[in-house]
């Protein structure tokens, strides 16, 4: 039995995401389309912050990883070499009675349809390729047929030589990219967890076959653990599951799934794998082109081994939302109890970092002062100006996870100080106008 380590339900998360503008069903006015979602004004910023956090640690703060951005549509032979055309399948089962479709591995038995309950109505499992197809050019024939990439990694493999020669890199070094991938999932579900269009952040790290490859793989597992910890994911809801030899593909020397305890149970966020020379070998074989590495210094030619870390950015964004969610009882000075919903985002991830309000919306001097302060802070932190009932302003910012709120009041007009309220503790500090930027920078 999987324990439910999260108190929030998916209904609560979905409702909050819609109400506050994090995530909407795609093309909702036409009834939506299964497995596709849109990120609203706050969700788009949240996801960008998640991607930026990955990019910063994986690329910008390292001297051994270079950036890449390949096309979504690639030559169809790419997917023959990678094995996706032949083997990127799920087993599909249809119910002859209610016409619903299921992934065979999601069913506990093939005897009875889990939706309509009819016995003997399910078809035999058959292979269903998960790649989405498209046609390139004006003719819709088999010659123009190609695919939307189901992973970003292949764009890096087919460019391996272009990249190492132009960047003057020598293994060990990595190539990173963030981009859209598409999979025609049979049963999309659990909100943005299993979707048909999603973003992956993939690192392909090439190492020489000199006996240190497993150490390098371990270092990446540690680095990824650190990343989740740095951005505040609760350690008791995160696990690094090491795949057994039977669970790994035959060519993989090691593999770890990073999993989070979602409200419905454990789900994969990322896979880290030691893939040997499988991918470069496969492209060399089919293309007939040399993708091995030539070391000018030693005059040695070899095919590097590959360590891959592949994280889903939509799943990570959803994790940030769920993990940050808290619904707590607060007691005011008069002993009155009330509830508040608060998203305890890491300050670097929070879509809005500072909310700025005037104490009264009908006092032009307070309004002008608050708006001027918001404009002054905007180049430095992600700000939002708002006005209205003070209690409601704080509740709204709590619900979108804003770490700090600044109140401009009558004292501000006299001495330039403002009240800074902390999201998590709800404590308030009085901060001098000149000290404010430094105060925020220190805490954000």
Q: Where along the sequence are the contacts to ligand GAP (CB under 6 A)?
A: 151, 153, 183, 185, 194-195, 198, 200, 202, 268-271, 310-312, 314-315
Q: Which of these, 242, 239, 227, lies nearest to 272 by C-alpha position?
A: 242
Looking at the Cβ atoms of 12 and 197, the one nearer to ligand GAP is 197
Looking at the Cβ atoms of 81 and 420, the one nearer to ligand GAP is 81
Answer yes or no: are the C-beta atoms of 10 and 190 closer than 8 Å: yes
Residues 157/165/288/254 CA torsion (nearest 10 deg): -40
CB of 267 to ligand GAP, least distance (A): 9
Looking at the Cβ atoms of 314 and 398, the one nearer to ligand GAP is 314
CB of 102 to ligand GAP, least distance (A): 16
- Length of the chain (residues): 444
Answer yes or no: are the C-beta atoms of 343 and 325 closer than 8 Å: yes
CB of 268 to ligand GAP, least distance (A): 5
Q: If you write DSSP's letter for every residue of 382-403 in order, what string do you get?
A: -EEE--S-HHHHHHHHHHHT-S
C-alpha to C-alpha distance for 291 and 304, rounded to whole angstroms: 9
CB of 356 to ligand GAP, least distance (A): 36
CB of 96 to ligand GAP, least distance (A): 27
Q: Which of these, 278, 315, 41, lies nearest to 200 by C-alpha position?
A: 315
C-alpha to C-alpha distance for 158 and 153, rounded to whole angstroms: 9
Looking at the Cβ atoms of 128 and 439, the one nearer to ligand GAP is 128
Looking at the Cβ atoms of 265 and 433, the one nearer to ligand GAP is 265
Looking at the Cβ atoms of 312 and 358, the one nearer to ligand GAP is 312
Neighbouring-strand partners of residue 179? 200
Looking at the Cβ atoms of 80 and 441, the one nearer to ligand GAP is 80
CB of 177 to ligand GAP, least distance (A): 11
CB of 236 to ligand GAP, least distance (A): 20
Long-range contacts: 234-240, Cβ < 8 Å, 24+? 234/5, 234/323, 236/5, 236/261, 237/5, 237/6, 237/261, 237/323, 239/266
Looking at the Cβ atoms of 50 and 406, the one nearer to ligand GAP is 50
Instruction: List CB contacts of 73: < 8 A, sequence separation 6 or more.
Output: 134, 136, 146, 147, 148, 149
Answer yes or no: are the C-beta atoms of 314 and 192 closer than 8 Å: yes
- Sign of dihedral through CA atoms 54, 59, 60, 64? positive
Minimal CB distance residue for ligand GAP:
312
Answer yes or no: are the C-beta atoms of 6 and 266 closer than 8 Å: no
Looking at the Cβ atoms of 121 and 152, the one nearer to ligand GAP is 152
CB of 46 to ligand GAP, least distance (A): 16
Neighbouring-strand partners of residue 261? 266
CB of 161 to ligand GAP, least distance (A): 20
Looking at the Cβ atoms of 312 and 351, the one nearer to ligand GAP is 312
Angle at 218 between CA 215 and CA 223, to 5 degrees: 125
CB of 48 to ligand GAP, least distance (A): 17
């Amino acid at each position: 039995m999987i324990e439910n380590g999260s108190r929030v339900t998916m209904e609560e998360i979905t409702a909050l995401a819609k109400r506050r503008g994090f995530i909407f069903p795609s093309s909702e006015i036409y009834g939506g389309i299964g497995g596709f979602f849109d990120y609203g004004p706050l969700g788009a910023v949240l996801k960008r912050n998640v991607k930026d956090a990955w990019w910063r640690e994986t690329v910008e703060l390292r001297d051994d990883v270079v950036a890449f951005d390949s096309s979504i549509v690639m030559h169809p032979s790419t997917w023959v070499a990678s094995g996706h055309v032949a083997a990127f399948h799920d087993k599909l089962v249809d119910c002859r009675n209610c016409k619903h479709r299921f992934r065979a591995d999601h069913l506990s038995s093939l005897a009875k349809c889990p939706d309509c309950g009819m016995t003997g109505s399910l078809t035999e499992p058959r292979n269903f390729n998960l790649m989405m197809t498209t046609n390139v050019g004006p003719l819709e024939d088999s010659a123009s047929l190609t695919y939307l990439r189901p992973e970003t990694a292949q764009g890096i493999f087919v460019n391996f030589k272009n990249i190492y020669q132009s960047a003057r890199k020598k293994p060990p070094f990595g190539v990173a990219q963030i981009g859209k991938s598409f999979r025609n999932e049979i049963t999309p579900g659990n909100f943005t967890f299993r979707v048909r269009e999603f973003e992956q952040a993939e690192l392909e790290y090439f190492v020489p076959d000199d006996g240190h490859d497993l150490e390098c793989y371990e270092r990446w597992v540690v680095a990824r653990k650190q990343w989740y910890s740095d951005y505040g994911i609760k350690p008791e809801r995160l696990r690094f599951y090491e795949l057994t030899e039977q669970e790994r593909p035959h060519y993989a020397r090691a593999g770890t799934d990073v999993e989070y305890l979602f409200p419905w149970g454990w789900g994969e966020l990322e896979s880290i794998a030691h893939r040997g020379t499988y991918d470069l070998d496969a492209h060399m074989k089919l293309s007939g082109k040399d993708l091995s590495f030539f070391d000018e210094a030693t005059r040695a030619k070899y095919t590097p081994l590959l360590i891959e870390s592949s994280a889903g950015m939509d799943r990570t964004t959803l994790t940030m939302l769920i993990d940050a969610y808290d619904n707590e009882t607060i007691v005011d000075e008069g002993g009155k109890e009330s509830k508040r919903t608060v998203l305890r985002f890491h300050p670097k991830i929070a879509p809005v970092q500072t909310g700025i309000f005037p104490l009264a919306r009908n006092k032009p001097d307070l309004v002008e002062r608050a708006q001027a302060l918001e404009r002054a802070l905007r180049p430095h932190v992600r700000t939002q100006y708002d006005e209205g009932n003070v209690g409601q302003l704080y509740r709204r910012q709590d619900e979108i996870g804003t770490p700090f709120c600044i109140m401009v009041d009558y004292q501000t007009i006299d001495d330039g100080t403002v009240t800074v309220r902390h999201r998590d503790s709800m404590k308030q500090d009085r901060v001098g106008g000149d000290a404010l930027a430094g105060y925020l920078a220190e805490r954000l």
